[in-house]
Structure 1
């Protein structure tokens, strides 16, 4: 079964039998995986990225565990936002004052009873309903998906719009779909939690077949970011141009999608702190 592909500390929640079937392209996955490994080697190796993702999830978990969300400060949440590449430039008006208080209140039900994934789509919908339903607030869906995934990556795979957005017919799933004339067809694939669970299960299995047996849930995130980074490059950066401009290295788009580009280890001015004592400062310009 799929669970055997993951170390005990990093197993995803058991997949339901009632998952959609996804037709994914092996050659596209192989090409993206090769590009990912090559890009990571140029900047310290893939293990460096895996450790950064682990740290990110640790910081998010610490920020909301044991009722910490109730007392979370504006500064702490702003620090977390630097890890959310498709959210951070759009959320600035909700980082202070009454808007921040209202957003924290909306996050409460979303992050309550995290062990129960059966109602997650309803929780996301309820969270989004707390904000205006217009183009300026499309980021709200990404915020919900990022918070769930970053707090509990085992139960909640990446479910952001760049992973798959049925309404716009764009995302990672489309880029790796196996079929004739994909570019001119609309994929009839739902964008709820079961689809993303199925996607991670399929990608985890593919990675296992290709020699990746440890830290698979993080490899899946990196691979998906690489896949969509390829799409951004092919489109000339037109999607999310404000967030992803002028990459200076092969992995810059991927890092920005995963929110790993604005955090650096610092010996002073602690913004976020991991359990091992390492302190990290964030680049506040990313929130402008």
Structure 2
């Protein structure tokens, strides 16, 4: 999603927002809350991690979009590697979150570092949604400088960090910036939610909807209307991005 295409990105997103039925997206917030409660039941308190089986870890990983196709391979690499890495990420003694995240990625050097970033973001956010934020590659891919946040911020200058851990902190600051502007006020005032405990999941939904809005807009601009129809409906796309189970519908 290069910003150098000469395409009015903000206009694309705004035009697509006007076509979104936000009532269709509100149930996603409840589904994210349920996903978070599942993570919390498995990963809180710290002692709970010692009781998890390989099947438990596979079930957790199955709820993460980026890892679904790889979770069995990941679990087979080292049964103790992921549990200990997650424990230190969530409950490590080091007070510096960025350093804990970097250590998590180093512990999982057997997998693609970009997948490791997605894992860290999901474990942090859905275990402690009131404390940590989501970071996934569709939000910001530091390697390609693309994603939802660069689109909303007109570039990624303020997102770049020297390490993945530092970038995670920058992503958190960026999320605050893009959800406090006037255009996003409806998020928490009669829009997606007015419940404080649902605020983190409303932000997730908003960012995923922004990604979808750009994707639909740029596809319609570049390609034919017929090809545009092959894209999944926005609620389904959002559920995929956020690792939610998509119900199978009969024809």
User: What TM-score results when the alignment is normalised by the length of structure 1?
Assistant: 0.64
Larger mean Cα displacement after TM superposition, 195-204 or 79-88: 195-204
Whole-angstrom CA distance in 2 between matches of 1:222 and 1:261: 15
Which residue pairs with 1:251 in the alignment? Answer: 235
Picking from 104, 119, 137, the partner of 1:127 is: 104
Report the CA distance shift for 1:110/1:235 in structure 2 as closer, same or farther (over 3 A).
farther
Whole-angstrom CA distance in 2 between matches of 1:173 and 1:250: 18
Cα RMSD (Å) of the superposition?
3.0
Whole-angstrom CA distance in 1 between matches of 2:206 and 2:147: 13
Q: Does residue 70 in structure 1 map to residue 46 in structure 2?
A: no
1:129-144 equivalences under 5 Å are: 129-132=106-109, 136-144=112-120
Whole-angstrom CA distance in 1 between matches of 2:100 and 2:214: 30
Superposed CA offset, 1:113-146 (max 9, x none) = 59x8x61111111011113377x44211111111
Superposed CA offset, 1:205-250 (max 9, x none) = 24335634433221110011112234455469xxxxxxxxx65423
Higher relative contact order (CA 8 A, sep 6+): 1
Which residue pairs with 2:224 in the alignment? Answer: none
Structure 1: which 5+ runs fail to align? 1-24, 237-245, 265-288
Which residue pairs with 1:229 in the alignment? Answer: 212
Report the number of matched residues.
Answer: 216
Picking from 192, 203, 216, the partner of 2:199 is: 216
Structure 2: which 5+ runs fail to align? 1-8, 162-166, 221-229
Report the CA distance shift for 1:91/1:82 in structure 2 as closer, same or farther (over 3 A).
closer
Alpha-carbon contact 1:82-1:262 (below 8 Å) kept:
no
Which residue pairs with 1:12 in the alignment? Answer: none
Report the CA distance shift for 1:28/1:217 in structure 2 as closer, same or farther (over 3 A).
farther
Q: Does residue 173 in structure 1 map to residue 149 in structure 2?
A: yes
Which residue pairs with 2:91 in the alignment? Answer: 112
Whole-angstrom CA distance in 2 between matches of 1:78 and 1:205: 36
